[in-house]
Amino acid sequence: MDDRKLEVLRAIVEDYVATQEPVGSKAVAQRHALGVSAATIRNDMAYLEEAGYIHQPHTSAGRIPTDKGYRLFVDRLAQVKPLSAAERRAVQAFLDGAVDLDDVLRRSVRLLAQLTRQVAVVQYPTLTRSKVRHCEVVKLTPARLMLVVITDSGRVDQRIVDLGDVISDDDVSKLRTLVNGALVGHRLPDASAAVAELPNTVPHELRDAMVAVSTVLIETLVEHPEERLVLGGTANLTRNAADFPNSLRQVLEALEEQVVVLKLLASAQERGTVTVRIGEENEAEEMRDTSVVTIGYGPGSGTVLGGMGVVGPTRMDYPGSIAAVHAVARYVGEILAGR
């Protein structure tokens, strides 16, 4: 395929996304400076149709892209439309105002839904990939402690430990040192195993206290579900039911199924790399009328804690959606790195 045919395909995709109407050769000639006649464009459209990149929904109508056409368009994107400077400042200011991890993810979903006008989804940091940054041990009363576990993903958990006996400030300091020595820098599953061994390694006078602390810590490290999601902007899909010729309802029902959404995010395994799945490329049959734009996010180079992205019709502003997903993921990673 030569460059001109690719430009004709690009014009058809862009016009169809913008107008929701099939695109004819005359419209392409008028709206895009391709330097050729409408007759030449008709010939190129005939080639694109025969090759399966566009099709004619009705007799005497213009052409619309197929899933194959959208895929070629996305693969040949010379550049992704960047967010404007004002948009970037607004994104950063909005996310910087978050008070904790939950707030960061909720704000991220709202931003993605607003920027793309699609359904936005963000996966909570996967616990098996999170590492313990610090565990604070605070003495509340002579026989009660508070444990504060902080992970590198920004998660903060607080737990109360009733010791059943008084404990000195010096012994609390020793517990804090021992617990952090076992936890800090380890992924949560490894940290849980290390904590379980702590009562067997401490002096006899600290053993009962360490048993109580270890029991609560293990519950803290493993009790949360591995996968949690934040979803937003579902109403955006209802703007045009014609974008979902099979069933909009089945798409909405599929989005309610957490396992379906998690599969959509499964490809987001590399930080900073956007993955686009179009129509039939989606594994779930209910999602065959949609396109999914996903990316992995994390606090540092190569570290992926979870995935985020948008779900919408195949008639999607791919350059804009890719740019928005990439930008929000980068800012979330920077926020998590600074917490």
**3-state helix/strand/coil string of 53-82:** CEECCCCCCCEEECHHHHHHHHHCCCCCCC
Q: How many whole angstroms separate alpha carbon 141 and alpha carbon 292?
A: 52
80 lies in a domain?
Answer: no
282 lies in a domain?
Answer: yes
Residues 333, 231 within the same domain = yes
Q: Looking at residue 273, which CATH number applies to its domain?
A: 3.30.450.40
Q: How many whole angstroms separate alpha carbon 320 and alpha carbon 25?
A: 25
245 lies in a domain?
Answer: yes
pTM across the whole model: 0.77
Residues 259, 243 within the same domain = yes
Residues 254, 271 within the same domain = yes
Residues 216, 237 within the same domain = no
Question: What are the φ and ψ backbone dihedral angles of 154, each rounded to 5 degrees?
Answer: 95, 0
Q: What is the pLDDT of residue 220?
A: 79
The domain of 7 spans 3-75
Q: How many whole angstroms separate alpha carbon 329 and alpha carbon 112?
A: 10
SS3 state of residue 288: coil
102 lies in a domain?
Answer: yes
Host H or E run for residue 89 = helix 85-96
SS3 state of residue 313: strand
Residues 95, 174 within the same domain = no
Residues 274, 195 within the same domain = no
290 lies in a domain?
Answer: yes
Q: What is the pLDDT of residue 302?
A: 66
Q: What is the pLDDT of residue 154?
A: 73
Residues 270, 313 within the same domain = yes
Residue where a domain terminates, one of 222, 246, 272: 222
How many CB atoms are closer than 10 A to CB 7?
A: 18
Dump pLDDT digits (tens) for 83-136: 788 888 888 888 888 878 888 889 999 999 999 999 999 988 876 777 888 999
Residues 133, 122 within the same domain = no
Of the candidates 323, 130, 108, 144, the one whose C-alpha atom is nearest the C-alpha of residue 232 is: 108
Question: What are the φ and ψ backbone dihedral angles of 245, each rounded to 5 degrees?
Answer: -60, -30
pLDDT by 10-residue block (mean), the chain, 339 residues: 90 93 92 90 94 87 92 83 80 83 89 93 80 91 92 82 92 93 87 88 90 89 66 89 85 85 76 88 89 88 82 93 92 79
Q: Looking at residue 28, which CATH number applies to its domain?
A: 1.10.10.10
Report how far Cα 102 is from the mean position of its chain's Cα atoms.
Answer: 14
Residues 113, 29 within the same domain = no
Q: What is the pLDDT of residue 210?
A: 92
SS3 state of residue 173: helix
Q: How many whole angstroms separate alpha carbon 335 and alpha carbon 326?
A: 15
Residues 121, 247 within the same domain = yes
Residues 218, 272 within the same domain = no
Residue where a domain terminates, one of 172, 193, 222: 222
Q: How many whole angstroms separate alpha carbon 315 and alpha carbon 32?
A: 19
Q: Looking at residue 161, which CATH number applies to its domain?
A: 3.30.390.10
Of the candidates 159, 95, 101, the one whose C-alpha atom is nearest the C-alpha of residue 125 is: 101
Q: How many whole angstroms separate alpha carbon 255 and alpha carbon 51?
A: 33
Residues 157, 29 within the same domain = no
Residue where a domain terminates, one of 165, 192, 222: 222
Q: How many whole angstroms separate alpha carbon 226 and alpha carbon 217?
A: 17
Q: What is the pLDDT of residue 83?
A: 79
38 touches 25 (CB < 8 A): yes
Q: What is the pLDDT of residue 16?
A: 94
Q: What's the structural domain count of the chain?
A: 3
